[in-house]
Structure 1
């Protein structure tokens, strides 16, 4: 090897040695730890979900209580409306029944003179033939409509149901008693259509 070659190879060899030392130093140097997250940095979704869940539970409880209160209020409203409707139905049925009874009573009251004629014909023995059949049918129809006749000889006198047109005394009675019936009375259910016209005997 010539002196020139030594001169040319010296710096090159020295550079190679320095390069090798740098590489070895880089391999031995540990990797830097990641820098800590600065305060206020963006957190991962997992880190934010925990506090949010704690905040949601009380909110759901309050909302549930509000819904329960509203449900109770609506239930009470429904019960009140149901009761009012039931009372309305009862009132309508009662009024309808009263109106029907009033109409029926008006018709039957108009027929009472005819029934009086039938009673007089029966007492005199004139209720015979076709007239007897018609009279029986009329009596049966009025009975189906609820018409009830009252007033018989021997009944205790009731001023609410009897109209006294004559009075007398008798040792045969212990209380005021109907001893004669001039005209029978009629009622329709609890309604008095006409009192019975009677003669009353008082005890002596």
Structure 2
């Protein structure tokens, strides 16, 4: 019978103490040493290096410059969006303000007409005169502008022709009588001026010119 070699060689059996607590000191042993394993690699235990450590100073500066340019562009875009938003809000606010004021002033136009007729008739006196002038000052302060005078060139955008004739005394369509003044608020026409319009005689249609009585 052949003797088989011992599993542990020719020496004495090796006993490995795998207890985590040292029975003599009562301290926790290091796992790797207690298990009899190899000591950990110091290089593997180190934290991963920052990628910026792997590139040169010039490359780092280029990356920082690019990042700064991107952040600056973002801030400029945000600022432009805010400015545009503020402009829209201010424009809408002003438009709403003009609509409200225009509605109020439109309701006062008839009162202003009455004041004008009373002034022309010489009836604007005493307390009534003071109140009327106060109303006119308030409407002017709110931006109401009166327009429409005899001699104005007729403009269909701001004039409403209630009467029409031909005259040798004008060289273009002209308002020769203002029946009711017009009013505007800013660029908005609250009411067109209602006028009588005279056109030059040479613009008289041929048939009508033949029937015109000689002077």
TM-score (structure 2 length as normaliser)? 0.66
Query: Which digits, 9 at most, give the CA deviation of each residue in 1:12-39, with x for residues without a partner?
Result: xxxxxxxxxxxxxxxxxxxxxxxxxxxx
Alignment of 1:1-204 (within 5 A): 58-204=55-201
Taking the aligned partners of 1:124 and 1:154, their CA distance within structure 2 comes to 22
Taking the aligned partners of 1:173 and 1:191, their CA distance within structure 2 comes to 29
Structure 2: stretches of 5+ with no match in the other structure: 1-52, 202-215
- How many residues are paired up? 150
Shift of 1:132: 0.8
RMSD between aligned alpha carbons?
A: 1.6
Question: Taking CA–CA contacts closer than 8 Å with sequence separation of 6 or more, which of the two structures ends up with the larger relative contact order?
Answer: 1
Taking the aligned partners of 2:54 and 2:76, their CA distance within structure 1 comes to 33
Shift of 1:102: 1.3
Shift of 1:66: 2.1
Shift of 1:178: 0.6
Say which SS state the counterpart of residue 55 (structure 2) adopts.
Answer: helix
Shift of 1:156: 1.1
**Structure 1 stretches of 4+ moved >6 Å:** none
Say which SS state the counterpart of residue 201 (structure 1) adopts.
Answer: strand
Taking the aligned partners of 1:122 and 1:146, their CA distance within structure 2 comes to 22
Taking the aligned partners of 1:92 and 1:112, their CA distance within structure 2 comes to 30
Taking the aligned partners of 1:95 and 1:135, their CA distance within structure 2 comes to 33
- Which stretch has the larger CA shift, 159-168 or 93-102? 93-102
TM-score (structure 1 length as normaliser)? 0.70
Taking the aligned partners of 1:121 and 1:176, their CA distance within structure 2 comes to 30
Structure 1: stretches of 5+ with no match in the other structure: 1-55
Taking the aligned partners of 1:123 and 1:64, their CA distance within structure 2 comes to 83
Say which SS state the counterpart of residue 173 (structure 1) adopts.
Answer: coil
